Structure 1
């Protein structure tokens, strides 16, 4: 028997690899010129832009394991850069995520960076939210925005961090995104 897989995005590719490893015959259909689905390079204004990496958030460990299983070298595929992100909004001070070059393990290194560049209030808000995320999964689902308000996240962090992060990770506006899915990813 032959299995037909429609779509050669990351999910389709992973399914094909798994089935082939189990001895199944697979035919993979893709309508685009390249495989990878929405996670691919696109040309924009004569430059190539890495698009869609956010689609893999929450699945990076499994994605890297799949690439390793296929014989790909992670170091040949990815360039790793120190964290250096500033988020600007006309209504709030810039929010900075910067690698401070210390030897603390993750996530302590991130907390130190946030404190150094944004102050203690940002660290406190983020820490409280991270600690409550796992507990939220055992409660009835709600929108991410409702949950953030319940967790007393500031308008600054909601606007500069959580809203764009939720949209990037889930491709869903913060007002309608599931807290269970958001906390899992």
Structure 2
């Protein structure tokens, strides 16, 4: 118990302007006086209010609790205060979890796709790359077939040219064989 507080309460209660016991008790409770300190101050102040040696108890209505103020309410009801703390703590945890979940969903839905493509698209890419590869293979086969036809036609042309060349060589040989040899005479032999 705080003795100096009890003395101040006694001085307050003995003052001429204090006439209502209920208001005086509510005022002192709102300033943070405990019930023990109020009882002691009431005893020392005497029977000024005619209610004996005890201060009037606070009413149990919520309006009365609001009028008392937070300090007296906290001093008078420690079990409710600790329950309120637990409830406040649980509420804060729930709020934090909700905020984190909301942030996660926002990031997953809007931010991550900007930097990391969707997995389903990555699975589709090989399929689209496969179709591109099939098209390229088809084009390569067509090119090989066209090259084959070009090579065959060139081979046919080369064979035709070779036959023509062989025929010309035969003709030249026959002309050479049928041609008379030119005799050159000896000059200066006498």
Q: Calculate the TM-score normalised by the size of structure 1.
A: 0.19
Structure with higher Rg: it is: 2
Q: Calculate the TM-score normalised by the size of structure 2.
A: 0.18
Q: Which structure dedicates a bigger proportion of its chain to helix?
A: 2
Q: Which structure dedicates a bigger proportion of its chain to strand?
A: 1
